[in-house]
Structure 1
Amino acid sequence: MYLAHIRKEISCDGKVTYSFQSVAEHCRNTAKYASEALKAVGLEKTAYLAGLLHDVGKHTLRFVQYIEDAVINEKEVKRGSVNHTFAGVKLILAKHAKYVGTNNLQDLTIELIAYAIGAHHGLFDCIKDNDESAFAYRLEKENIDSEEAIENFYNECASEDEIEKLLLEATAEIKNLADIIVSIDRTEDDEEHEIPFYYSLVCRLLTSAVIDADRKDTMEFEKNEVTKQVSLDWSKALENFNSYIKNFKTDRDIDLARKEISATCAVAAQKPEGIYRLNVPTGGGKTLSSLRYALEHAKKYHKKRMFFVMPLLSIIEQNAQEIRKAVQDDSIILEHHSNVIDDENSDVEELNKRELLMQSWDNPMIITTLVQLLNTMFLGKTSSVRRFASLCNSVIVFDEVQSLPNKMLTLFNLTINFLVKKCHATVILCSATQPSFENAEHKLLSEVSDLITLPSETLKVFERVELVDKGSMSMEELSDFALEIIRSKKSLLVVCNTKREAKELFENLQAEVNNTVPMYHLSASMCTKHRKMIVESMKIDLSLPDPKQIVCVATQVIEAGVDISFNCVIRLQAGMDSVVQAAGRCNRNGENKLESVYIVNLLGEKLHRLKEIGTAKGATESLLQEVKLKKHYTSLNSDAAISFYYRKLYSKMDKGEQDFLVPNLHKSLYGLLNQHDVADGYFLAQQLKTAGKYFNVFDNITVEMIVPYGKGQDVISELNSEKAMYNFVYAEEVIKKATGYTVTCYQYQIEKLKEGNKDAPVIYNDYFGIYILNDSAYYDDKLGLNLDAIGGEGVFY
């Protein structure tokens, strides 16, 4: 028997036993899971064949010796030293014609399958640096026992006749796929076509299905149990939802308006699959309205899962709680905030246990960040690629979609087109300040339309604030202005552009008020549990019969989705979308007739690390000047004013800037993924590995670090325990808990903390690939992670 995996078990009395899984069993299981993942999108046989062939190379005596040495003999072996991915690639490529034009569709099918096989431990570029095809390279590679592996595969696992039959069926599927891709290519005859980019997404989709199936079967063998499928019953979730909202109060006009929006979304759920805009004013009950839509739509169109994608962790914390209350079934929900485990070095030939502990998106309802969703679409790490197939046959709700970085417009738009037209996804773009994605260089599908249309009398109910331009102020003048408002006995929220600004202003005001007013600080320097505690404390203070006057100085983590209401808001000048979102935290429920939201341009502001905020701030300045000079707009947050803002914002972008330019490559990620030079007789030439390597949501590399806040110290101890190393179930539970105690920071900050310090406050748990803050002196109960000594602004999500 040729071995895929060996499981070592130690009983209570110390007895060691071994269990074995054959390569044939593992390949069949992987094929089954991969085909199930892509059945709904018409790629069932293609995925099955890729899964069946993914571990052909393990059918060798050399691999048996390697795995026995590693597990039974406990020898030091180099992980991935026995190449097992090339053999499957060789087997399928042997059926490829030597010249383009002989049998185009079958050859394209073969290349797509070969890519998924070859990339299931890490993406690769279809064209090497010397312009040689990566497929040709794999065919010519010697000393990897391919002939032995292929012969044994045919004897032990599948016949040549079965492979030929599957290939014919897969080719028929790819023909249908090719027709769809041609139909969604929106370029003109004289422009470079988008078709190669769409095939890069097909490569990612097939690879995703194989990776997930491979990891799933391996995990089931390691745990010695089959993964329980979460039962899917949208009818029950919808019934629970309707029961939850039935008793909502409708005492105020704003409550009635929210009810109307919700009911209209329920009716709109009957519309066919597609891309829709949901333009609802801040405070309009968008979370529950979009949830109601998603449940109704998923029930009607038999969707496998739904995603709620939010730009900030603070939104997830609150909205997840609201969603859980509404559906009343925790088992169907997964909150995926961050990757606690680092899989930076996962692109080798063999799995390690840390990869099996990466979160997959199997649950019917996923609540995640925009960062995680974009990583799933474009990042090169296998944990991200693995999740891509989960987006098929789903409802995807993007909350505050205007938060999408402008450099990603092309990648985002074309991927959404692919998900909707090929993968049967329905996409909802939610925003009170809708960006014009359909006017980008590479457009969303022309069929994009508004999900609902609100009458003017409903919109009027949400006119609760007035935006006031206060001009420029120094930090000292800003502090004085804030103190004036505090002395007027009003609760105050100040939203800053950087964590350094927020910290400085917080400390200035705290020194002045001298404990006479409760002071709060909120930023991404705090872990999820910490921020949740702060928000709950503020809500309690503000909801008392005689509400307390409080002051909160925050970064944009409070800006969207946090259901809290202050008498007054100061927003440091940024993009108008950010200003409008901050305004949504003022007089949120119409407690008073009209309150003020002040826009302040902070003098000497340092935004060199935050280029997009600086660009957006400039577009807002253009709008403010337009209002001063021409008085064109009756309100700064009117649809006309917001439209002017986006025109200015996009006009400031150079040609190609929306394609995700990589300066040191002199190329864009779109260009890498849209490459189509035929090499050595092969169609695929896209550079998926290079594109995945250079993709990042932020301009600097970020990592997650567990901090010793509250029970975070216990989590750290549990992760460092011997039990976590040898007990998979226990390790899973601990890692799940750890997500509440992580903070995102830049890689250079981690290195600075470790630099020249024998007792560095940061340690790296190599077994799990996790950074841990080991010194509580660097975590402040009011400010969170305190890295003043090494500088840096941190991250906003």
Structure 2
Amino acid sequence: MLLAHWDGKEHRAQSLKDHSENVARIMEENCFSLGLTSTGRLIGLLHDAGKANPVFQQYMLENQTEKKGKINHSAAGAQILRKLFFGTEFWTMPKKQQQFRTLLFQLCSIAILGHHRGLMDIYDPNGNSPFERMLNAEENQSVHDSFFNELNCKEEINQLIEKAQNEIIQLNTRINILVKGHSFEINNDKLKKAKLEEGMFTYGLIERFLFSSLIDSDRLDTACFLDKKNIPVEENRIEIWAELQERLNKELLGLEKLNPSQASSTLNQIRKRVSKSCLNAGNWPSGIYRLQSITGSGKTLASLRLALQHACNFPETKHIIYVIPFLSILLQNSQTIKETLHLEEHSDWILEHYSDFENELINASTDDNLQKQEELQEYELRTERWDSPIIITSLVHFMDTFFSARKKDVRRLHQLGNSVIIFDEIQSIPDNCIGMFNSALNMLEHLANVKVVLCSATPPLLEKIKHPLQWSQCKDIDTNYSKDMKKIHRVFVTDKTDVQNCFSVEKIAELAYEKQQERSNALTIMNTVSGATRVFECLKKKFEQIPEMNRPLLILLTTNLCPDHKKRRIQQMINALKENIPVLCVSTSLIEAGVDISFDVVLRACSGLDSLIQAAGRCNRHDHKKLGELIVFYSYEIDFMHESITKNTTISQLTRKLICSHCVLDKFKKAPEDFENNILSNKALEMYYSRYYEMIQDRVDYPVTSQGFTLYDLNSFCSCWCTEISKAKKSDVNWMMHQAFETAGRYFKVIEDYSIGVLVPYEKGRELIEELNSGNIKFQPDNLRKLKRQAQNYSVNLNESYIRKHKQNFSYFEAADLYCLKEGCYDEEKGVTDFEAQSWII
């Protein structure tokens, strides 16, 4: 018997035959949503063929730890396929058949070759092929023979190849239908290129899907052997969905009975209609849909109603996944869903995959609390697998699932098939990720039977770029947004924008205080941290002249505060507003989305029109009788008119947004009737987005300017390296796929952040710093991981050059690779001290 795994402590063995068969069976299940069950089974059977090598068998039995990772057992499976695919009959096949044969070979062999090391580049920047290099590792025919003798599967392999070939032909037909759906109006040559790019990009996503399926299948079976557990049977979730739908319906009925006096209010009538529209949309098939609804319309429960209705109607549904960009919304929605569905007794029905939830578990899992340590280990496995019915996660985790180089991220990709995925605040997709995001959603909907719902009060025109989002024919779940805006007239806009009269710090502070005195509370939103801090300091200086009992609660919110500090400040304001205590808040845009807080007046330094609409959502949210006021002005922070002329293509994102907003505001002043007499209307928003996307067409495919390529291209044709590829070409076979998976994954970050996380002396952060200074921390991998996760809630991101310039204010712990801010450098009101401003004052 050939071994796949050996437990030396208990002298237990798992045979190569059993492991290969188990993995093949799980692969069939994992690849079902794509219609690639035979392809999956083929990969599963062959993935560990190299373990038939006597050297590997000896390594396992003798526990030769020094050889771990040094014996290549991944190449044999791919080499077996190469012999079966590219025999003499291959060269006599019609060209089209050769292409499909080659495509299938690459899809299978890349997953097999990379299932331990990770996805490799097919071609690298020098035109060389790491894929070919791995494929051409030393070959041993006796290993192949031993494998087939052990599994007795040669005939099945040949049959699977033919079945898999048919699956790929059918898949290709569906991909052609996908790329033909392009509606973006560009010249024919560019349109043709965009279609070809998206087609090959989609094949790259299929490769990642197969790779994800293999990693999960292999690790799951291995873990079950080591833990002496049976492989979990994939459950039919019909009963779970029915139970959850019943609980939701009871809660919705209870909410109506709880407030009978408010049932007839305009806002409640809108909530009922939006909820009913979502219920109806739950009967629609997989597709990409849009839910645009006003603030306070009950979007969270309405979208949950849609998802559960879909799951009950379509029994193959595996997951309901919420993807949310901001931690504040994640926490709110997660709490709402858990309370509404009463998930206390069924915690395994929901997975919360975001930093705050991880930190809670880490803080509880002390060295002497074994139960909590086991819970943490179980949670970490669940975050890799995403096998829970309901998953609530961040946009960063979702995008990393598709494009990260880390295997633990890619492992969960196949779980997205046969799911309902709901995105909140979809306008927050970073500009450079839009092209890849669109193509990923197109692939999920067209090929993996996924229903996608994009929610926002300011939905971007994602169909207006080179690689457009393929909306379903009936894309809008509710079509009454504009009518609702007129019915719920909660805010009037005061336009004080004048390019010749940008507001100074003093003028902003004066107007903010004046409005707060007039209406009890006010919020001022600036575009930069320095802008918000200067207004705050100006107000603070003004308050020195006012008796303390007459001063409002003054709060500053910026990214110079650590997450825990921000959360406490927001809660402090919410509590004060509930008790009718006067509040004056100065913030950056971090308050605009996902913070359930309402002010009577909002002052907004002009930015993108979508930001102005989001800012209006922080004003009179609960529809009081007296209208709220949104005041828009140009700030001293940036001379956008001058920058747009002098810097041309290198202008900042904020400048682009200001230029587009200025165009719309200017047209509105001249002809308000063209915009339904409302600068916050959909017509104004569509004009803004149309102009904005025209300006960023060269940025949406994730350009890596320093290297001269885009990540979209690296995940598609690698056309940027075509000269190098043709020069270095060695194989007789014309490879269909050229993707540089590893290089693209290395450069990919959802948030391009050239800053460093710095642990600050605030609350628990102070304790962690003291512990580091004491020298009592053991710097083992598990301890370091726990420490870094604990530090996240008490860290602020600072520019690397800023840290170098003021290095005397920081400590660096090399063993933990962690910067800490020294005591006295973190302010209770402003967070991280501006050292440059401080030295100037001194």
TM over 0.5, shorter chain: yes
Counterparts of 2:290 and 2:222, CA distance in 1: 41
Counterparts of 2:286 and 2:813, CA distance in 1: 48
SS at match of 1:271: coil
What's 1:433 paired with? 458
Matched, 1:244 2:256: no
What's 1:171 paired with? 165
What's 1:91 paired with? 80
What's 1:539 paired with? 574
Counterparts of 2:217 and 2:836, CA distance in 1: 43
What's 2:600 paired with? 567
What's 2:324 paired with? 310
What's 1:383 paired with? 408
Check whether the contact 2:289–2:453 (CA below 8 A) recurs between aligned residues.
yes
Matched, 1:453 2:479: yes
SS at match of 2:387: coil
What's 2:372 paired with? none
What's 1:501 paired with? 531
CA offset digits 1:431-481 (Å, max 9, x no partner): 212222223222222534211222765442332112222332122322222
Q: 1:353 to 1:639 in 2, by over 3 A?
A: closer
Matched, 1:636 2:625: no
Deviation at 1:113, TM superposition (A): 0.7
CA offset digits 1:270-299 (Å, max 9, x no partner): 122111111112232222221211121122
Match of 1:663 among 701, 705, 715: 705
CA-based RMSD of the aligned residues comes to: 4.0
SS at match of 1:246: helix
Counterparts of 2:245 and 2:97, CA distance in 1: 53
What's 1:685 paired with? 738
Counterparts of 2:804 and 2:815, CA distance in 1: 14
What's 1:12 paired with? none
What's 2:621 paired with? 588
SS at match of 1:553: strand
Check whether the contact 2:205–2:440 (CA below 8 A) recurs between aligned residues.
yes
SS at match of 1:473: coil
Check whether the contact 1:268–1:451 (CA below 8 A) recurs between aligned residues.
yes
SS at match of 1:760: strand
Percent identical among aligned pairs is: 31
5+ long unaligned stretches in structure 1: 9-15, 342-351, 792-797
Deviation at 1:558, TM superposition (A): 2.0
Check whether the contact 2:113–2:135 (CA below 8 A) recurs between aligned residues.
no
SS at match of 2:496: strand
Deviation at 1:660, TM superposition (A): 2.3
Match of 1:126 among 105, 108, 122: 122
Check whether the contact 1:282–1:581 (CA below 8 A) recurs between aligned residues.
no
SS at match of 2:411: helix
What's 2:109 paired with? 114
Q: 1:235 to 1:58 in 2, by over 3 A?
A: same
2:211 partner amino acid: T
Match of 2:510 among 480, 487, 507: 480
Counterparts of 1:668 and 1:651, CA distance in 2: 18
CA offset digits 1:51-107 (Å, max 9, x no partner): 3333333443444566678xx67x6x4863333322222222222226555544333
Check whether the contact 1:314–1:557 (CA below 8 A) recurs between aligned residues.
no
Counterparts of 2:349 and 2:612, CA distance in 1: 35
1:603 partner amino acid: Y
Deviation at 1:585, TM superposition (A): 1.0
Counterparts of 1:29 and 1:781, CA distance in 2: 57
Deviation at 1:353, TM superposition (A): 13
What's 1:345 paired with? none
Check whether the contact 1:90–1:146 (CA below 8 A) recurs between aligned residues.
no
Deviation at 1:553, TM superposition (A): 2.6
Counterparts of 1:209 and 1:746, CA distance in 2: 38
Match of 1:614 among 655, 678, 683: 655
Q: 1:305 to 1:762 in 2, by over 3 A?
A: farther
CA offset digits 1:511-562 (Å, max 9, x no partner): 5436632233434455555444333332222223xx1112233333321122
Q: 1:167 to 1:36 in 2, by over 3 A?
A: same
* More displaced stretch, 272-281 vs 332-341: 332-341
Deviation at 1:642, TM superposition (A): 0.9
Counterparts of 1:465 and 1:189, CA distance in 2: 45
Q: 1:683 to 1:439 in 2, by over 3 A?
A: same
CA offset digits 1:699-728 (Å, max 9, x no partner): 3356777777655678998999779868xx
Q: 1:336 to 1:420 in 2, by over 3 A?
A: same
What's 2:28 paired with? 35
Deviation at 1:618, TM superposition (A): 2.0
Deviation at 1:181, TM superposition (A): 0.6
What's 2:392 paired with? 367
Deviation at 1:731, TM superposition (A): 11
Q: 1:295 to 1:358 in 2, by over 3 A?
A: closer
Deviation at 1:740, TM superposition (A): 7.2
Counterparts of 1:362 and 1:614, CA distance in 2: 43
Counterparts of 1:156 and 1:763, CA distance in 2: 50
Counterparts of 1:152 and 1:367, CA distance in 2: 46
Counterparts of 2:146 and 2:798, CA distance in 1: 48
Calculate the TM-score normalised by the size of structure 1.
0.84
* More displaced stretch, 517-526 vs 443-452: 517-526
What's 1:651 paired with? 694
SS at match of 1:659: coil
SS at match of 1:428: strand
Q: 1:104 to 1:334 in 2, by over 3 A?
A: same
What's 1:347 paired with? none
Size of the alignment, in residue pairs?
755
Counterparts of 1:530 and 1:82, CA distance in 2: 50
1:760 partner amino acid: S
Counterparts of 2:465 and 2:284, CA distance in 1: 25
What's 1:288 paired with? 301
Counterparts of 1:298 and 1:708, CA distance in 2: 47
1:562 partner amino acid: V
Counterparts of 1:458 and 1:478, CA distance in 2: 32
Q: 1:175 to 1:526 in 2, by over 3 A?
A: farther
Counterparts of 1:528 and 1:226, CA distance in 2: 42
Q: 1:739 to 1:208 in 2, by over 3 A?
A: farther
CA offset digits 1:317-367 (Å, max 9, x no partner): 2221112222221432222225989xxxxxxxxxx9999696432222222
TM alignment of 1:730-749, pairs within 5 A:
738=790, 741=793, 743=795, 745=797, 748=800
SS at match of 1:94: helix
Deviation at 1:669, TM superposition (A): 2.2
What's 2:811 paired with? 760
Check whether the contact 1:566–1:587 (CA below 8 A) recurs between aligned residues.
yes
1:648 partner amino acid: R
1:286 partner amino acid: K
Counterparts of 2:2 and 2:555, CA distance in 1: 62
What's 1:201 paired with? 205
Match of 2:41 among 25, 36, 48: 48
Check whether the contact 2:555–2:584 (CA below 8 A) recurs between aligned residues.
yes
Counterparts of 1:503 and 1:22, CA distance in 2: 65
2:491 partner amino acid: V
Determine which structure has the larger helix proportion and give its number: 2
Matched, 1:552 2:547: no
What's 2:496 paired with? 470
1:363 partner amino acid: S
Counterparts of 2:426 and 2:741, CA distance in 1: 26
